Amino acid sequence: MIDSASGAREKLKSLAGIEASHGSILSATLSTSRLDDWRLSAPAFLRSEFNRVTKENNVSKEEKRFLQTDLDFMLDVVRYDVAPQTEGLALFADGRAGLHERVELPFRLMNRFVIEPSPYVRPVAHALSLLEPFVLARVSRDESSLYLVDEWGFTHEDDLTGPRLRSTDRETGETAVKEY
């Protein structure tokens, strides 16, 4: 299920304060857009990045076993538990501390995989900070509407319908006066 803006921000606040007590935390952001072939590419991306990062950081075999269980959690979520309307997915896992968190968003994220002592929340925080509400106006000769659009879609509509011009008004060129 896609998280609300406030729900996603609250999750990020709680994640930002966490630090791994024993080892490391896996953090992954993925694009799960219908435009991408993510059902095939996301698991392959997670596995290859896991192998690359553990090799670069010279992770011990014992630590790698613990991290592998966290990776398995991430793979299970990607395979079986992503809502169809989700466009971006952020996963955070540390099995030893009982941390298995995910944030589903209605917009795409860059694919990224990080192993660090604290959750890597920067891409999600940056994406949320770029979303600003705006107003959309639809105006025609006969009617107009104002829409308030927030980060998840339009939330409010004001219909500002005035008197319509009659065909006789169009022929004579007279215009009706709209009073609001």
Strands (E) across the chain are located at 25-31, 88-94, 99-105, 112-116, 134-139, 144-150, 153-159
Going by pLDDT thresholds of 50, 70 and 90, the confidence category of residue 71 is: very high
What average pLDDT does the segment 5-18 reach? 82
Please name which of 55, 71, 67 lies closest in space to residue 96, comparing C-alpha atoms.
67
The 10s digit of each residue's pLDDT in 72-127 is 999 999 999 898 888 899 999 998 888 999 998 888 899 999 999 999 998 888 88
Q: What is the pLDDT of residue 151?
A: 60
CATH 3.40.50.300, domain 5-129, yes or no: no
Sorted by where each begins, the domain ranges of the chain are 5-129, 134-172
The 10s digit of each residue's pLDDT in 127-175 is 887 766 777 777 776 677 777 776 656 566 666 555 554 444 555 556 5
Going by pLDDT thresholds of 50, 70 and 90, the confidence category of residue 70 is: very high
The 10s digit of each residue's pLDDT in 38-59 is 888 999 999 999 999 999 999 9
Give CA–CA dist 49/114, Å, rounded.
8
Distance from the first to the final alpha carbon of the chain: 42
Query: 92-125 burial, b for 16+ CB within 10 Å, e for fewer?
Result: bbbbeeebebbbbbbbbbebebbbeebbbbebbb
Q: Which two tokens stand for residue 85?
A: 């309307």
